[in-house]
Amino acid sequence: MKKNSELQKLRSKIDEIDLMIVELLNKRAQIVLEVGRAKQSNRLKIHSQVREKAILRKLQDSNTGPFPNEALKLIYEEILSASVALQQPLKIAYLGPSATFTHFAARRKFGSSSEYLSESTIKEVFEAVFRSKVNYGVVPIENSTEGVVNYTLDMFMDSDLMIASEIVLEISHNLLSKSGKKADVRKIYSHPQARAQCRSWLERNFPGVQIIDEISTAAAAKRVSRSPDSAAVASELAASVYGLNIIEKGIEDNKKNVTRFMVIAKESPGRTGKDKTSIMFTIKDKPGALFLILRPFSRHKINLTKIESRPSKRKAWEYMFFVDMGGHIDDKNVMKAIKDVQKECLFFKVLGSYPSADE
């Protein structure tokens, strides 16, 4: 009885604290509404990534435990999402249908209080942002196993949209079907990137079985939900959404399988102190041209985190280079390096400066 009495006292304390948390959240919400009115009267944007990043960093830096920092971050991301929605709900376009990894990444970034618009292609996501149907768009840019998503890079060539943020997400693939039985599988549907990330596992376990490409992993799951002799390579979220059973979990060949997504908008945010800048350019056709491009980054002590080349599609054997670097366009060293680089380029474009994701 004494032990039960002590337990009840502890639970009563937790109940009191929970009520205090709710009361404080509502006090916070009242101030958020006042902030929203102040922003509207001054014609300021409702959503500020710089402010959100500063809040999350301050909270994590001041957390002494034992409550884990990652859980604190997740909770406050939802609080911030709900706070923005009180002022004006954010609208987010993503590469759909529902339950794609891009959808999951978007929800991870913007929280459950935002409104989400599914688009069938990456081009449609860009168009939704350009036409102001949404505030932001989310598209995949590269995978740690299979490299860049070329179509996303191609879209940046002609688009005036900017990169506003990045999302880094661990990806785990599963084999799904109606029955959940391996013996029933005659065909497998998958997005080409997901298929490539699970190539060895599929070859070992389903040799000779036809694998058919779909526009997304969620589209593959949706098709399989109507086909009892088929399976899909997709997420656990897709299994839940489309009523499928899991034949095998974690079928990706590389268990450290990470995908990077870009958040696109009409403008990039200001400095946060932990930023990246992305640029694209074509270079002059002469000996040492690439060396002359890279030298200013070294001289100004700028770390290049990615360099990728693609045919420009404008002239035979002309290549477009995509580069990610540490720092913000407003940083003096980044500004100086870019000025020097532009002198050696035929074409040059800044794609945006944005908060670096917490890897």
Residue 210 confidence (pLDDT) above 90: yes
> Which of 16-25, 64-73, 218-227, 284-293 has the weakest average pLDDT?
284-293
pLDDT tier at 124, thresholds 50, 70, 90: very high
Quick check: is 17 in a domain?
Answer: yes
Are 197 and 162 found together in one domain? Answer: no
pLDDT tier at 18, thresholds 50, 70, 90: very high
Q: Residues 169, 172, 173, 175: is their CA dihedral positive or negative? A: negative
Are 100 and 70 found together in one domain? Answer: no
Residue 293 phi, psi dihedral angles, 5° rounding: -70, -40
- Of 257, 130, 129, which Cα lies nearest the Cα of 201? 257
Quick check: is 120 in a domain?
Answer: yes
For residue 48, give the CATH number of its domain.
1.20.59.10
Averaged confidence pLDDT in the chain: 88
Per-residue pLDDT tens over the stretch 314-359? 666 667 889 999 999 999 999 999 999 888 888 899 999 999 886 5
Q: Average of pLDDT values for 234-242?
A: 89
DSSP strand pairing (230-234 vs 187-190)? parallel
Distance from C-alpha of 287 to C-alpha of 281, rounded to nearest angstrom = 17
Q: Average of pLDDT values for 1-24?
A: 87
pLDDT at residue 131, as a whole number: 94
Residue 127 confidence (pLDDT) above 80: yes
Cβ pair 71, 116 in contact under 8 A? no
Are 117 and 97 found together in one domain? Answer: yes
Are 83 and 132 found together in one domain? Answer: no
Q: What angle do CA 335, 154, 157 make, to 5 degrees?
A: 45
Per-residue pLDDT tens over the stretch 56-108? 889 999 999 899 998 998 899 889 888 888 888 889 999 878 888 899 899 98
Q: How many CB atoms lie within 10 A of CB 76?
A: 17
Q: Average of pLDDT values for 111-127?
A: 91
Place of tokens 């000779």: 208
Are 116 and 146 found together in one domain? Answer: yes
Are 239 and 219 found together in one domain? Answer: yes
Residue 284 confidence (pLDDT) above 90: no
Quick check: is 116 in a domain?
Answer: yes
pLDDT tier at 263, thresholds 50, 70, 90: very high
pLDDT at residue 51, as a whole number: 87
Quick check: is 253 in a domain?
Answer: no
- Amino acid, res. 287: P
Q: Which of 101, 126, 156, 261 is catalytic?
A: 261
pLDDT at residue 3, as a whole number: 63
Quick check: is 133 in a domain?
Answer: yes
* End position of a domain, from candidates 29, 64, 87: 87
Q: Which of 259, 272, 277, 282 is catalytic?
A: 259
Quick check: is 73 in a domain?
Answer: yes
* CA-to-CA separations, 210 to 66, 254, 255, 282, in angstroms, rounded: 51, 22, 24, 40
Q: Average of pLDDT values for 240-268?
A: 91
Secondary structure of the chain in HEC code, one letter for each residue: CHHHHHHHHHHHHHHHHHHHHHHHHHHHHHHHHHHHHHHHHCCCCCCCHHHHHHHHHHHHHHCCCCCCHHHHHHHHHHHHHHHHHHHCCCEEEEECCCCCHHHHHHHHHHCCCCEEEEECCHHHHHHHHHCCCCCEEEEEEEECCCEECHHHHHHHHHCCCEEEEEEEEECCCEEEECCCCHHHCCEEEECHHHHHHCHHHHHHHCCCCEEEECCCHHHHHHHHCCCCCEEEEECHHHHHHCCCEEEECCCCCCCCCEEEEEEEECCCCCCCCCEEEEEEEEECCCCCHHHHHHHHHHHCCCCEEEEEEEECCCCCCCEEEEEEEECCCCCHHHHHHHHHHHCCEEEEEEEEEEECCCC
Which is higher by pLDDT, 133 or 216?
A: 133
> Which of 103-117, 242-256, 263-277, 308-322 has the weakest average pLDDT?
308-322
pLDDT at residue 202, as a whole number: 95
* End position of a domain, from candidates 87, 116, 144: 87
Cβ pair 112, 78 in contact under 8 A? yes
Are 151 and 219 found together in one domain? Answer: no
pLDDT at residue 2, as a whole number: 62
* End position of a domain, from candidates 196, 231, 263: 263
Report if pTM > 0.85.
Answer: no
For residue 335, give the CATH number of its domain.
3.30.70.260
Quick check: is 347 in a domain?
Answer: yes
Are 40 and 109 found together in one domain? Answer: no
* Domain region containing 156: 91-171+258-263
For residue 144, give the CATH number of its domain.
3.40.190.10
Residue 178 phi, psi dihedral angles, 5° rounding: -65, -45
Secondary structure of 1-34 in HEC code, one letter for each residue: CHHHHHHHHHHHHHHHHHHHHHHHHHHHHHHHHH
Are 33 and 68 found together in one domain? Answer: yes
Which is higher by pLDDT, 100 or 17?
A: 17
pLDDT at residue 115, as a whole number: 92
Are 199 and 145 found together in one domain? Answer: no
Are 8 and 59 found together in one domain? Answer: yes
pLDDT tier at 134, thresholds 50, 70, 90: very high
Determine whether 259 is an active site residue.
yes
Number of folded domains that form the chain = 4
Quick check: is 205 in a domain?
Answer: yes
Residue 126 confidence (pLDDT) above 90: yes
Are 323 and 350 found together in one domain? Answer: yes
